[in-house]
Amino acid sequence: MSAETGTAVVVARGLRVRRDEREILAEIDLDVRTGEVLALVGPNGAGKSTLLSVLSGDLQPAAGTVELDGRAIGSFRPLELARRRAVLSQANVVSFPFRVIEIVQMGRSPWIRTAELADDQQAVLEAIRATDIEHLLGRRFTTLSGGEQARVSLARVLAQRTPVVFLDEPTAALDLRHQEDVMRLARELAAQGRAVVVVVHDLSLAGAYADRIALLDGGRLDAVGTPTEVMTADRVGRVYGLDVQIHRLGASDRPIVLPLRD
Amino acid sequence: MSVRSRALALILLLAGVLVGGIVLSAITGQLAITPTEVAGSLLRAIGIDTAWAPTDPIIESTLWVVRFPRIVMALVVGAALAVAGAVMQAIFGNPLAEPGVVGVSSGAALGAATAIVLGASVLGGAGVALFAFLGGLVATLLVYAVSRAGGRTEVVTLLLTGIAVNAIAQAGIAFVLFVADTASREQIVFWQLGSLGGSLWSQVVIVASVTVIGVLLSFALARRYDLLSLGERNARHLGVNVEQLRLVSIVLVALLTGVAVAFTGIIAFVGLVVPHIIRMIIGPAHRGLILASAVGGGALLVLADLMTRTLVSGAELPIGMLTSLVGGPFFFWLLYRQRRRSGGWA
């Protein structure tokens, strides 16, 4: 694990992504640092998932650079990359009826024939415990509900044990408790010194658990900073086109975002 | 029982069936030969003289010229087709992909027919195999390029592509038949029905060596096929070089199918039925699946070939007809089940 917290592991400069003549992302500068949870938020179609794809090395930007550990991310071989960063994508369909335990074990595959192999069982066990899927291990992945599949896929990503973790809407299909569990997990990963990037829709959830929030609007970064800095009623209202009020509960400075309702 | 020990148990069971099938096949025929004579003859071949060894030269030559090459051919062709099916299903992310259904076998057949008409005698057995491989390769590439979207293939798209590729290949074969002289025409028609009769050792060697290499290579790639079932993107996140894996696998499918079709004609559905049943027993993990498919495919064709020789006395049924007779309804059942489960042709 990276020794110091706060070191920029992924550095993106001047990112620009076009698709079908349309500008999806423009003028993005962003650092992903060790020991912190960075939340990507924004309205539908703002470019959150695209940005995540670019940062994780899936997508080549039309312009700009992404560096991982000081090296252009495009120059990594797939296996080298798999040992440095794990990605939970939104689509987690499995073609054949593998058992849940087999799916989690697949997360260890980048470490085959390495010293890390000794940690295999430990990593798999921890991932299973952290995502609360012990009772599903013998089931076929294809027979699980959407939320259960999401948690199993998350366990697979955790088992990969990489210094950088990207989570694309990990809470989308989850119930209230498991949403909180997942975000708490993201915090724990950061506490271990890893860098966590997470796309979330729920602004209060982002506000409660992220160290920094990057707010995207129409493919541009509207603001990057601590939840308190980014989550102002003005800014959120403007970006989402909806009047909101920001609450703070008790002594916490974590913002809670609520739409203004009659 | 753990997945691994289940897989091992199944492979051993299938190997038992295979050995039984081989012995049964060796002793059955117009000339009855006893199992001890078969064993004696085999032992003599590796330099151990026993009292069992047949003294009659007719028995000896029946075994070594007629029956053994045919049995080994059935074994390796079955293994090649079953493994080709398993690999194809892995890269298409669809359990219904199969060389026969999708048109790869027809492509290979067109290649082989072309080789026969162009004068296979000049090129020799390897020439037919090479043309079959090229035909199969073009067909696989075509199907792959047309039918996949987002790393997966929908059943409808796959089957429609199969219809188109099959149609083109069959038209090509018809044209080749049309321009062929009478001798080659007869050869092609007979061969098209699919038969293991008249297999020569020289052909068996070609098919066997390609099959062994193909099965070993598929086995080496098995873990990557497991990861590929998570989708191409997720596989890439786990360190799989998806583009490279795809390319190698397409060549692999074309090689295995091409070499299987080259001398025995189209034997369809082996690649569909065998991996499917094995998946139901030991699960989808590809290491066990590929090994068990190789053994199971071999056993299936050895037994099927025995049936073609014995079902109708005095005549020999085309083996391609037999596998389609069994595989067709099986395929139909799979489609029906998949349709019921997903509520449509997803």
Question: Residue A2 pLDDT more than 70?
Answer: no
CB of B168 within 8 Å of any CB in chain A?
no
Identify whether A91 is part of a domain.
Answer: no
* Distance to chain A for B72, nearest Cα, Å: 32
Residues A103 and A75 in one domain: no
Give the distance from CA A132 to its chain's centroid: 19
Residues A256 and A172 in one domain: yes
Question: Residue B13 pLDDT more than 90?
Answer: yes
Q: State pLDDT tens for residues A226-261.
A: 999 999 999 999 999 999 998 887 777 788 898 988
Distances from the Cα of A87 to the Cα of A133, A189, A196, A258, B170, angstroms:
19, 14, 10, 30, 45
Residues A64 and A105 in one domain: no
Residue A1 is predicted with a pLDDT of 43
Q: Name the strands in the sheet holding A164-168, side by side, starting at the edge strand that comes first in the sequence.
A: A85-88, A164-168, A195-199, A36-41, A212-217, A220-225
CB of A44 within 8 Å of any CB in chain B?
no
Contact yes or no for B3 and A78 at CB 8 A? no
* Distance to chain B for A184, nearest Cα, Å: 23
Residues A262 and A150 in one domain: no
Q: State pLDDT tens for residues B313-345.
A: 778 888 888 888 888 898 888 888 777 765 444
Residue B123 is predicted with a pLDDT of 61
ipTM score assigned to the predicted complex:
0.91
**Residue B275 in contact with residue B85, Cβ under 8 Å?**
yes
Q: State pLDDT tens for residues A23-81.
A: 899 999 999 999 999 999 999 989 999 999 999 999 999 999 999 999 999 999 999 99
Q: How many residues does chain A have?
A: 262
Identify whether A89 is part of a domain.
Answer: no
Q: What are the domain boundaries of chain B?
A: 3-29+68-342
Lookup: tokens for B161: 């592509």
Contacts of B228 in chain A (CB under 8 A): 95
Residues A70 and A100 in one domain: no
Which CATH number describes the domain made up of B3-29+68-342?
A: 1.10.3470.10
Q: What is the mean pLDDT of chain B?
A: 88
Residues A11 and A74 in one domain: yes
What does the radius of gyration of chain B's CA atoms come to, in whole angstroms? 20
Neighbours of B175 (CB within 10 A): 14
Identify whether A48 is part of a domain.
Answer: yes
Q: State pLDDT tens for residues B270-294.
A: 999 999 999 989 999 999 999 999 9
Contact yes or no for B285 and A102 at CB 8 A? yes
